[in-house]
Amino acid sequence: MKGLQVPKLLSLLWFFAMGGSPLFKSLLLGAVGSTALAGAAFASTQTANQVPITVSATRIATPENQVAASVTVLTAQDFKERGDITLVDALQGVPGLNVVQSGGPGNVASVFIQGSNSEDVLVLLDGVPVNDPSTPNGAFNFGIYSLQDIARIEVVRGPMSGLYGSGAIGGVIDIITKRGTPQTHASLTAAGGWPAQGQGSASISGMIGHLDYALTAAINEQAGWDAVPPRMGSIRRNIQDPYRSRLGSLQLGYTFGDGTRIYAILRGQSTDSAFPDLGYPVFDDPNDYSYNDNFFSKFGLSTTKLNGHLHSDLFVSWQQNRLFNSNLLDANDPNQASAHDTYHGTRTDTQWNNNLRLPDHGAFTHSNILFGAEYTNDTADETVNETSYSYPFIETVHGSQHNWSGHLGVQTTIDNRLTLTGALRDDVVSSFGHAITWRAGAVLALPEIDADLKASVGTGFHAPSLFDLYYVDSYGDRGNPNLKPEYSTGWEIGPEFIIPAFGQSDFADVSANYFWSSVRGLIQSVELPDYTYTEENVSCAYLNGIETDFKFHPAFWLSAEFTYTYTRAVQGDNGPALLRRPQNTGSASATIRPVPRLTITPMVQYTGRFYDYIYNNSGYSTGTGSSAPGTVVNLNVSYRMNRHFTVFVTGRNILDSHFEASNGLQIPGASVLMGVRAQM
């Protein structure tokens, strides 16, 4: 692109990543970037009536309306229009999802899909499973990821183990990073706001000959809020819980003349945060900190053979997660709590995936055969060293687990009307043996009424975590190396209608989906005859509900979306409700462009009552019970001054709701972030 000075932009990125004070870097970088990017072109974005393409639901690039699954696709443009900075921000309002963060940004955040457990949500980064093997349940911590290097997120709901293996009982969330394209893109963002917070990022992507590249650096800082709710006035000390996140991401690829591409993806993020001590009682602790470092690498080779009919991808990935929790003893703490905890998890993943496109034959078109193999090896080293009321507690985990698997899938369309998919997978896990899972789905197009009818059925499994298998603590409790996996069976069915009206071909897009699943062999802690505890497969859960999504485009300058999800998640046939699964959730959002260049995006999120561990106003736990509902309102306003610069204002929780997504910990209060984005 004319005027592009790659060395200068790369030097700015290096200064941003390695320079002095983070907040100073953000502001200075924004000022320098404003000058550097003057005269650049403004990139166009996807129009509203284009059907999103999804890959994660079938491993084949397929229009969303032809996928036999509930899918939501979020793009970098969506993040900008809504003012999303973190992964938690982006996932709020997705039908069928409940996002629970224990306090403010940087703290542990869990996602529950269609009522399933948080560890039953498999998270992929560029197609690689990244759930943390060092956490007690093997779940992914959504609270530590930023979005600045993310191109899109695909959320697939329903059992997906037939394609992806362990952990995909509730669904799959695939996080896809930015990749260089022939058109060069560069952007710099600097923002600050109230209460004290700053955000800065810089990225550049493009191609030089056969070399594609994408480089991102970002930092987010907040002085934080007090996560102890005001209702606990007697113990609330107005102590802020700060947050800082630093991100660096690089993707390089080289494409040879025959279409073969070698590539490397490197991503590192460090996230620090603070939180109160949920002891007995809750203590507004100024010394309880969490330090998360995660590193991800992927090296691969992609080829296309047989005149474009066979695409193969071979890669090896290695990731490392480190977590350190530190709680210094505070003389005012009634619990007299202290902690020095370390968690270290690694995963090596090697995959060989193939997609064979078959020639069209008669009524059968767009036919594909998928096949591949995967080997993963997880390790976990955990040392928990804590005291409470002067009593020490020590817990350790040292173990590993590996998995060999093979998968086979098919997809075809019959008479341009019926799309069928199927998948079969066999996982051989070192701790227990074979787990065979499958999935089948169909989409029936009904163009006569502008509708599609979707249905699918499948199975899932979740292998025991390394904690479940191997933990030992100072009370004599221990893991159980003879555990079996948790298994599930689920199905879903629902229609989607495109309604033209008022001169708009896509005036309304209305969908509804009923889901049902059972999970057997739930792993829970049980008491042994010697009064110690271990893990056993002892329980089951039943999940069902309905997701609805209403999208409207009444005019070129206005679009709106309304979602509602009803979820029933209980233990046993009619047992108690599972914790943190609200029966009723919903959202309403709009994108309004009243004049050219001005975009206004309000969003309202509602979470109904849910069962949780309850803390009373004195900070003491009273067992399980019903936690209060909450409503959160966000607003983002942006104005594109010219082709190069956009100014924006993001207000989060602007009505200052004290909603407790996790009982005893309120969400961050009202905030305003103002900034400028320069791009070419």
Write out pLDDT tens, residues 620-637. 999 999 999 999 999 999
Distance CA 377, CA 479 (A): 19
The confidence score (pLDDT) of residue 632 equals 98
77 in Cβ contact with 46 (< 8 Å): yes
The pLDDT of residue 502: 83
pLDDT at 488 over 50: yes
Mean pLDDT over 212-225 rounds to: 96
Segment 587-605 mean pLDDT: 97
634 beta partners: 603
Q: Rounded to whole angstroms, how far apart are CA atoms 657 and 604?
A: 12
- The more confident residue out of 298 and 22 is 298
Say what the pLDDT of residue 28 is.
Answer: 32
Q: Quote the pTM value.
A: 0.91
- 136-141: long-range pairs with CB below 8 Å, 24+: 136/465, 136/467, 136/468, 136/471, 137/465, 137/467, 137/468, 138/167, 138/462, 138/463, 138/465, 138/466, 138/467, 139/110, 140/111, 141/108, 141/109, 141/292
pLDDT of 48 over the 70 cut: no
Nearest to 231 by CA among 621, 658, 525, 597: 658
User: What phi and psi values does residue 659 have, to the nearest 5 degrees?
Assistant: -60, 135
Is the pLDDT confidence value at 42 over 60? Answer: no
Helix (H) or strand (E) holding 22: helix 22-36
The answer on pLDDT for 46 being more than 80 is: no
User: Which residues are CB-contacts of 596 (< 8 A; sequence separation ≥ 6)?
Assistant: none
- The pLDDT of residue 51 is 73
Strand segments (E) across 579-640: 584-592, 598-607, 610-615, 621-627, 630-640
Band of residue 37 on the pLDDT scale cut at 50, 70, 90 = very low
- Residue 587 in tokens: 């959202």
The answer, yes or no, to whether the previous bond of 159 is cis (omega within 30 of 0) is no
Q: What is the mean pLDDT of the chain?
A: 91
pLDDT of residue 506: 83
Tell whether the model's pLDDT for residue 120 goes beyond 70.
yes
What is the distance between the alpha carbons of residues 661 and 365, in angstroms, rounded to a whole number?
A: 47
Query: Quick one: average pLDDT of 138-160?
Result: 96
CATH among 2.40.170.20, 3.40.630.30, 1.10.260.30, 2.60.34.10 for 6-679? 2.40.170.20
**Model pLDDT, residue 19:** 40
Checking if the pLDDT of 540 tops 70, the result is: yes
Distances in Å between the Cα of 145 and the Cα atoms of 12, 152, 229, 301, 314 are 23, 14, 25, 27, 26
> Mean of the pLDDT values across residues 89-104?
95
